[in-house]
Structure 1
């Protein structure tokens, strides 16, 4: 379902409740931590499973839309992947639509030892009523603490938090799980700006919506590739992501006299094909070939005409991607030989 569909928020809560019930049946056999003085406000914010086993549990305090919030994630010490404190903070920045202001490549994750934390410093926190050594890293209003205990590693992240409150081992996740639905409902109820329908020069540039959508998705893939190289989490989707998709689907309906479902399928296939070429075609970096390929894919999608040199390659790609990529290479070789 999509956010604009009727009942989206309710369906989201139903999925969350079903997942919560599944977690209740398979509680981890390692301790989970939360804030000692906030028993009535914490909620089960998330968890991860690996091969059917829970490998992380996260307790939230406040919502990400609040000025101040905090999450406590617990992971067993063995057999899981640990991200660096830099990466953890970069993920929080990305969730808020901000770039992480620390330059360079971030330390790599590890499933053996805890990743390096070159920008952290030692601090003492209270865990189970005992002073405990930890590391803390602060960047522009955000903070991340990491505590290594006998059985688990606890990573706490927050915004607007100056001092980490005391942590305590939780004896019952039931109340935290029961508040999950309330928290998700509160998030769903937060007013969001209403996106205006995207319009363009239909009469003079009838394919503007298709080209605009592809320009956005191509740029997004380039940005994600850059983030992968520097080991940074992906950022938020572009603000006009939804309107761009809606505009392309609407124009596809108009240009091909298709229903919404068929138009969405056609536009999705268009984006997927161009994405495959962007990621795997050897000739993609050549601007003249890239621009021509995009134009021909848009033309076939939006008009249904097969009167372009790459039509056979596009048909082959729709049946079998590897064969399609080979056919696209033949297309590029033929154009280059002229």
Structure 2
């Protein structure tokens, strides 16, 4: 594939930095692809400091680290080899002028926006409106059913992260309903993760969907890059639905990104004692998400009702609640924690 000089330099610049690097983005905003020439001729250190002092003084102290990172990577990068590797895997670089609506959404990321995307499949599908559907990699059977129900209800194109669990269930449900679905990867598209979903990925591409990454072929899907990938899912989504998530979940990271950009965020609520839904319930309680309405009323468990009844009788300490409710103290402590997460008690 033919690249002009500016496209070649843009790809090279993007390969020099980790996703979301705000300082690198600021330098590019100020100098464009000429930033690489600044570095090559040795004027980066002086010119960039002058520009940062004028336009972004908060970054000046971080500049030596950026220059060091460039010096470590630049000698080992080969844009032509990356493009050739991408083509062998059915992927190609796609620039903002080719999918302007998509990059308009990425503008909401500010200095954390991507420079370009690598796409396997139909890049034109990215111009559609998407709902993000995400959740745990270790779902319950109920969570898998709910992923199907959510996708069925939204009836629009679906974007997720391609992971096993809720992500894969959302992609599969979209395919079954003949809806476009797109997965954002945390590494190069030649290293799409996880391997067990490769057949699903192929089906998505064959069905006018796409696999997408901001990272060039060859880049590994590291833990940090998964977290950074989440901001792209949030940015391209009209709204986001968290189907099932534990109290500590990467889905909350995606939800926070979506919320910060003004996207609507929803979460499937459930019984307060269900560990698999504590993250969703907590997001609703904290105001990050609104409940996704299946038209069902979520009821507390029997033990939680006994604890609440004891508290209405005036019991406050766990021992007193346990005595009144006929429960063990450790059981009461557990139910109290769940009730607090659900916002039922303070």
TM-score bin, normalised by smaller chain: under 0.3
Compute the TM-score of the two structures, normalised by the length of structure 2.
0.25
Higher helix share: 2
